[in-house]
Chain A
Amino acid sequence: ETGVTQTPRHLVMGMTNKKSLKCEQHLGHNAMYWYKQSAKKPLELMFVYNFKEQTENNSVPSRFSPECPNSSHLFLHLHTLQPEDSALYLCASSQDLTGTTDTQYFGPGTRLTVL
């Protein structure tokens, strides 16, 4: 148990659906991240938030829309996804973005399948 929880753990959706992934951290951190993990590919950083402000959007398509209402919660809103978006979506948190030694703690991920 890393202190970062994600719901749902599994999600199957059609290309016309709208769904949201939720991440919550209980570590008192101020930075939160979304990563995409596809089979046989390195983890890809998608978004970074620091103190609720988005600091990084790694050229992610607009069908992925993040939301960070406070430092403990992070959402990823999904709409009109494509089958190639099927992957494990990982959330992570760290103390903030000011230190070399800032460690990222990962949640268990949401396994997303787009039909």
Chain B
Amino acid sequence: EVQLVESGGGLVKPGGSLRLSCAASGFTFSSYAMNWVRQAPGKGLEWVSSISDSGTYIHYADSLKGRFTISRDNARNSLYLQMNSLAAEDTGVYYCARDLSGHSYPPFDYWGLGTLVAVSS
């Protein structure tokens, strides 16, 4: 069974940093591109970042302005999101999501339950 379990969220002050993790199991992690998607309270979904299966290709949402860094460790079956210079507008639930394999321009077929990030003084 495919499982994605996020961790690392919490309460942080404006300007602070957090590192989110996503532990993957039930599939060959190193064969799949992965993504982070966030959702502010009561708002819609916002794609944050994606990373290819090998980690070679990375994309970010323009709104992040270079503050976030996505990475992965295929040996540990883990995806990460380093978030720096956090602001109130970064508050929300952060989901990791897997690309659907075998398709060009794939959707996200499995999602974790999410981890809550709250940025407040």
Tell me whether A and B are bound partners: no
A interface residues, Cβ below 8 angstroms from B: none
